[in-house]
Structure 1
Amino acid sequence: MSEELKLKNQVCFPVYNLAKEIISLYRPILKDLDLTYSQYIVMLVLWENEEQNVSEIGSLLNLDSGTLTPLLKRLELKGFIERKRKATDERVVSITLTEEGRNKKEKAECIPTQLVEALDISIEDLSELKRITEKITNQINKIK
């Protein structure tokens, strides 16, 4: 077997494994907010901009509507968001935070700090990881 095909020499596996492990660190932190990681990143978008349509959220999070729609339905059932069709164009579904959804933001303020503490790694290393990850993602998006 060639060295290039050994798992230990692949770039994809440690990146995949890291993403999986980081998301698993979020689980106990997000449990108190009654959010999954996927729901949390949707809420991050809405905390930043209280009204977004489904396609805007999907574009920001790189999620298709088949993945996003069930997520949004669950957030609506929990009472965190409202989904409404636009009167001007019924194909567009607008997503807004409810009062309860807005209140979750205050409770979520400590999450980034808790994650950094759980990782036990320097802010500088995390910033470098983020920078390199974004650089690679941007390069891949140029190729597409």
Structure 2
Amino acid sequence: MSETTQRILPPTEALICFNLYAASHGFIRLYAPYLERIGLTYPQFLVLLTLRGPEGEGQPQGVGELGALLGMESNTLSPLLKRMQGAGLLTRTRSEEDERRVVIALTEAGRARAEAAAEVPGCIAKDTGLSEEDYHTTLEVLRKLRGQIAGLDGKPATE
């Protein structure tokens, strides 16, 4: 970053972490009215979309698999799944092959809600006004950054 850019921007504006944090909060606020209409919180939305799958095929998944896909620890995910089960959106059953493993599957009500949830990203894309090219470029940069951060395993690269 050039010296001129650093002098013009407030210190937080020059930080990737601040801009990611602010953008994340902004996106979640954009999602809120859409999710309220279908009776979901943002984490529930993510769970339903993940269980639905990219083509709506909806294969059951273990809690560990689901947590890995969502980047959530089981101590955060388990209470969320219990609430969703209580709302009739999914089932939680012990695996027949390994009783330690809990398998999560959508109910009919969960599938219907997941289908409604799958429409929301298109609405958000329209709301943000991002071109398809900008969308894909931003997604590529964010995925790359997530991968690099995950590779650090919580340790600074300078150690």
- Please indicate, yes or no, whether the TM-score normalized by the shorter chain is above 0.5: yes
Instruction: Specify the SS of the correspondent of 1:83.
Output: strand
Task: Give the distance between the partners of 1:13 and 1:109, measured in 2 at CA.
Answer: 29
Which amino acid in the other structure matches residue 59 of structure 2? E
| Superposed displacement of residue 122, structure 1 | 1.4
Deviations 1:37-89 (A, max 9, x none): 11111111110143001000001111001110111011111101001112332
Task: Give the distance between the partners of 1:62 and 1:35, measured in 2 at CA.
Answer: 19
Deviations 1:15-51 (A, max 9, x none): 1110111011111111122111111111111101430
Superposed counterparts of 1:1-144, under 5 Å:
6-48=11-53, 49-144=58-153
Task: Give the distance between the partners of 1:138 and 1:98, measured in 2 at CA.
Answer: 32
Task: Give the distance between the partners of 1:11 and 1:108, measured in 2 at CA.
Answer: 29
Which amino acid in the other structure matches residue 33 of structure 2? P
Identity of aligned residues (%): 36
Q: 1:42 to 1:109 in 2, by over 3 A?
A: closer
Task: Give the distance between the partners of 2:134 and 2:144, measured in 1 at CA.
Answer: 15
Instruction: Specify the SS of the correspondent of 1:127.
Output: helix
Task: Give the distance between the partners of 1:19 and 1:72, measured in 2 at CA.
Answer: 23
Structure 1, unaligned runs of 5 or more:
none
Computed over aligned residues only, the root mean square deviation of the Cα atoms, in angstroms, reads 1.8
| Superposed displacement of residue 106, structure 1 | 2.9
Which amino acid in the other structure matches residue 101 of structure 1? G
Greater C-alpha Rg: 2
**What TM-score comes out, normalization by structure 1 length?**
0.90
Task: Give the distance between the partners of 2:145 and 2:134, measured in 1 at CA.
Answer: 17
Which amino acid in the other structure matches residue 28 of structure 2? I
| Aligned residue-pair number | 142
Q: Runs (4+) of structure 1 moved beyond 6 Å?
A: none
